Structure 1
Amino acid sequence: MANHPSSKDRRNAAREQARQIAAAQAKKEKTVKTILYAGIAVVVVAVMAVVGTLVWQSSRPVAPPQAMVSGTLAFAAADDGIQAVQPAGEEEGADVSDLPTVADSGAAEGASVVKVYLDFQCPGCKAFEEANGETLTSLAEDGSIVLEYEPVAILDRMSAGNQYSTRSANMAACIADSGQSALLPDVMLELFAQQPGEGQSGMEDDQLLSIAESAGVDVDADVAHEDAATVRDCVTEVAFDRYVENSTQDALNSEGVQGTPHITVDGEPYEGDWSNREAFAGDLIRASGQN
């Protein structure tokens, strides 16, 4: 007669089967959790690596263009016309060794330093240059003043998304970095002459380069920037975008600039009426003690 498992044996077998199923399920869940946690850990490490890289890149000093110090270009009298000279101030990594000092230029002793902060998308800056560009150049040519320009990028939002303020200021930096900064006054005047309207798309790269070439810039000349070979490359790759951003923030946060055009005379904000060409010129001459 065959032996049949008792009710107790069946219950024990059922319990053992349930225990085995539960153990297998727990093992499976543990494996899933291990994989999940490992995946999360990999993602966290990857995110931390990306964040660390971005932080390192943002904190890394940005090499300035040749001939510029803290975003500034300086011009003074030469034997014939004006020449680029060493801007005042200091900036880590700045190389202005190829430029004469103001003392070695034809600037008169005690000549005031007139500095203009400008944005190439700014209608007020265009009006300022139309009213006073020739006067400033003339005063620099005869040694009455030392003329400084600092292009900043405040109005990128006004160029239909193509970051024209940054890109045009970047081109100025590219030209300076190629050793052709003496041509920048002419380039800047033409940039204002062809200024896009606010809210319209800013000029494209080929238009910017055409303006530079019309002012005599060799756009195929080498630049010192490690990530660009020529002025053309520097412009199309916007190689100095971080430099423009940093110098703009310095102007806004540390140098008292609240808008453009912003004019200083020997470091002090100009409080007169720059729209009156004769009065403006007279104020500058008197500031230099030449009245």
Structure 2
Amino acid sequence: MLDIILDEFHFSTLWNGGIFLFAMFAAIIYFFLLPASQKHSWWKSFAFIAGLIVIFIAIASPLNVTGRIKFSTHSLQLVLVLLVAPPLLIFGFKTKIVERVKSIGSMKKVVSVLTKPIVASAIFQVVFYSYHIPFIFNFARLDLYLNYFFLLALFLSAVLLWFPILSSNQLTSGQKWKYSFANIILLTPFSLILFFANTGLYAIYSDINLFMSALALCLPDLTEVPPEFFASLLPFDPVHEQWLGSLYFFVGIIISFTIVNFLSSKRT
């Protein structure tokens, strides 16, 4: 069913060329402009590029359009953007430039405060739960730039969230596991609310008028699309989608924190 629906969209609608150019620009800066230390291995470069690819798949591929049709796909986007891409990018980033930035007195203090485990976790939880308050979520999804602003804020806060785990000099191995467990506990209510909800929490996925307005942001010319087409895009039960999305997200946080902690422990 979904394959038939996506066939109705233009190639430029399904694939975001702007995000692709941004990812290519980031790769060029990474390889040709950022200085690398002698300890920088090809594995780190591979991880960084993999992180860029994950971001592209999450917000610039057909997955992004599908995420406006199905809430469960939105949950998959969250897993990719917040739980998969940030650890890859942090692990693969060239630390020499970070050391230069931290050598600036004021920047060192700012980075030191923002990457403290309690601060980093608090910032992420506030941004994450604020975005998913139903009226904020519905409103943000109706504005292309506002939605990207929230996604950027979520991504940057996720980078802060993962930094204490991937940093080699902030926490001991045991402290990293405790930090991860605490964040899993803090994120679990989101999954539980979705899992036990007996009604659709986000009108953007059930109200035909809001749905049309949100999806129109992905369409180059709304006037050429008949209303019947939008009605055909709503065969997905919002309650079931929330239930499925809660499972995707909960499994995602368990797997991502476990794998990153395990690999981080091996490094130390």
State the TM-score, normalizing by the size of structure 2.
0.27
Relative to its length, the structure with more helix (as a share) is 2
State the TM-score, normalizing by the size of structure 1.
0.25
More RCO (CA 8 Å, sep 6+): 2
Larger-Rg structure: 1
Relative to its length, the structure with more strand (as a share) is 1
